[in-house]
A and B are shown apart, each in its own frame.
Chain A
């Protein structure tokens, strides 16, 4: 586009002037008001466009069925406008993230608790297994079993089950008449 005030308007400037004279810079606007030739170019184009609109309008039909609003009143503000929909959507998304986060955290804590409980149960089971390994008999059997005599000392056991060397010495002494 020309910027100097003296030159005639270019083709682009004529088009720009038809669309909106304010789109020309101040110098060009002044030139347009002062130059009859440029003004006539702009007016010719404007007139052609206006004439085109008039002809189109003259070829259009008139309204045959005037619209009349139905008796049911429009439902006011039942649907949210886009901005509010967006805000509501964001709020729901944030709420979902927060709830999801809490849920995930709870799940994680619950998982940890579950693992701890399982470990506890495993330890308890191992204790029972160890107990069974140490004391395989039930308590009633234990009372009549040797296991129940664990309180007696070693001499009592030796008395009950003497060892072979002591048995042999005693039998030798008996044969010699030392023991009656």
Chain B
């Protein structure tokens, strides 16, 4: 997967300030920087891909409409993830209302295998391995509480720092760490998945 080069912190802060003051070009540059990771974040939690794309569009539209109210410009990323987390939660809530069936898992392995060919880098693992990987991930996530799952995915899939997660979920850093400890203690016992990960790395 080709990653957009990260903007230096001062440049990012400058763009956020300009975007907050109504500069559309600055906002679009922020979109270029963050849209791939927000799409991934949504995709991990929502299927199928088209749905994730729609939600990502909603998230950025909401961000654009509300960026004028952003006070702490240095916390833009947390703020954006908060919008994304809330939008995904809202989506799941509506889904649950629509159907009695609700998937407790953040990941839908069936959809993943179906959409594996859409992946940016299909060479990373074979389809079978990918399916097995998501199956194992689902097994772990089912053992986690809602908050443990949320924190775990934000930390190790979305690569947010503890303080960014705290900002996105509006919780204290110590609360986030407590959930992470518990989630990691459970993950640590998952020998099958860890073996898989080691094999994939080698």
Contacts and interface: CB of A to CB of B under 8 A. Distances in A.
A55 B124 contact: yes
Given A60-B44, A62-B120, A11 B57 contact: no
Interface string B114-153: 0110111100110000100110010000000000000000
Interface in B90-117: 112, 115-116
A65 interface: yes
A71 B31 CA distance: 15
Nearest to B115: A61
Given A58-B121, A60-B1, A74 B22 contact: yes
A87 interface: no
Contact of A55 (B32, B69, B125): B125
Contacts of A11: 185, 188
A61 B119 contact: yes
Interface stretch (A42-50, A89-97, A144-152): A42-50
Contacts, number: 138
B68 A74 contact: yes
Chain A's interface size range is 35 or more
Interface residues of B, number: 60
Interface string A126-162: 0000000000000000000000000000000000000
Interface in A34-88: 45, 47-71, 73-79, 81
Contacts of B2: 62
Given A58-B121, A60-B44, A61-B118, A76 B20 contact: yes
A57 B27 CA distance: 25
Contacts of B40: 56-57, 60
Interface of A: 11-12, 14-16, 18-20, 23, 45, 47-71, 73-79, 81
Ordered nearest first, which 5 A-B pairs have the shortest CB separation?
A58-B124, A76-B68, A67-B60, A73-B22, A60-B40
23 contacts: A11-B185, A19-B181, A51-B198, A51-B201, A55-B133, A56-B44, A58-B124, A59-B125, A59-B130, A60-B1, A60-B119, A61-B115, A62-B2, A63-B53, A66-B32, A66-B35, A67-B31, A68-B31, A69-B27, A69-B31, A70-B61, A73-B22, A78-B68
